Chains A and B, each alone.
Chain A
Amino acid sequence: MTHSLARTETAHRDFTLVKRVLNGDKTAFAQLISLYERKIRGMGYSFFKNTTDTEDFVQDVFLKTYTKLPTFRGDSQFSTWLIRVAYNTAINSKKRRKEYASLSENFDLIDTDYGPEERQLRKFTSKAVQEAIKELPQNYSICLDMYFFYDFAYNEISVITGLPVNTVKSNVFRAKKLLKTKLEDFLGDEL
């Protein structure tokens, strides 16, 4: 309930920022960049696997977003629309590497302060996601990243990647089951 409320607030905040940008307020666009840069950078690194190309990618995506913003109709959330722009940019880029590297492999990319429990859980999640990815066809691994790291729901992932919702659902379900099994070992005596 709280989480849904937070999402509604996020959608409202983004919508207000977009409206401000469209009215000529460039500061609002700086705010949008600030909010979504980490996600776009994460995606860039997964596709390009080097910092120079990732940096170009991030700039390219936001410039494209700024230009295309008048075409944003608000049918989906701004975050979904933005990530879709980023995903299509990455897919169509000639510089991208063939294999997509999951964000679970790049967990040290961002230096954020975490407590010991959080750090352990993050390590544990990244391992579980990595193992789940090994069992999946290459192009499906992005579904898990989108679900676990970008915080998107099944239909949003489907909109971004163009994969059927049921495919997304079954891939995420498989990863969650693996996570649960690993969790049982991890929690051990607590259960």
Chain B
Amino acid sequence: MDIYLSLDKHQHIPFLVTCHFLTCKKCRTKVVTLKKIETISAKQYSTPVSYSDKTLAAIMKQIDSSFSVEEKNTMPHVSMTKWIISGLFILISMVSFGIFAIPELRQGMYALATSVFAIVFTLFCGVFVASNLDYFIKQIETHTFISKGSLG
């Protein structure tokens, strides 16, 4: 355990020490927790501050008085209303077909209707993602960025 403790950050663990950890649950638990501790401790100070941060704005103003942080930090505004309404419309249509369509019609049209609904729903999801791709990319980048936790 002392050999492990003397190692530097991200240093390769010697083979014999690794072998010991594989066979000793006690040490393994300690190492896992110690690693977790190191990650958690560093995470707090690795999280980026928002662009709307006052200090950041103050520094940038001193560097360039015309600098505007708002325009550099724009996460595109996505209106969800039309997507929710159209999504609900598709869902209601699907459920309504199942409940209200007369049995004869339902029998004959079942395969066709479900296929149409499946295609419409897939298209809906596809168009939703494609038209808001920029938003999703920014969201993913922001979260990957933050969750990496070792930006230092």
Contacts and interface: CB of A to CB of B under 8 A. Distances in A.
Interface residues of A, number: 57
Interface residues of B, number: 43
Interface stretch (A91-99, A131-139, A169-177): A169-177
Contacts of B34: 176, 179-180, 183
A121 B49 contact: no
Interface in A158-191: 169, 173, 176-177, 179-180, 183-184, 186-187, 190-191
A148 B41 contact: yes
A51 B44 CA distance: 18
A42 B29 contact: no
Interface string A28-47: 01100111111101100000
Given A59-B58, A125-B37, A187-B29, A149 B63 contact: no
A52 B37 CA distance: 31
A151 B60 contact: no
A118 B40 contact: yes
Give 7 nearest A-B pairs by CB, closest first: A151-B42, A151-B152, A153-B9, A176-B5, A34-B48, A148-B41, A37-B49
Interface of B: 1-2, 5-6, 8-10, 26, 29-30, 33-34, 36-38, 40-51, 53, 55-56, 58-60, 62-64, 67, 69, 72, 148, 150-152
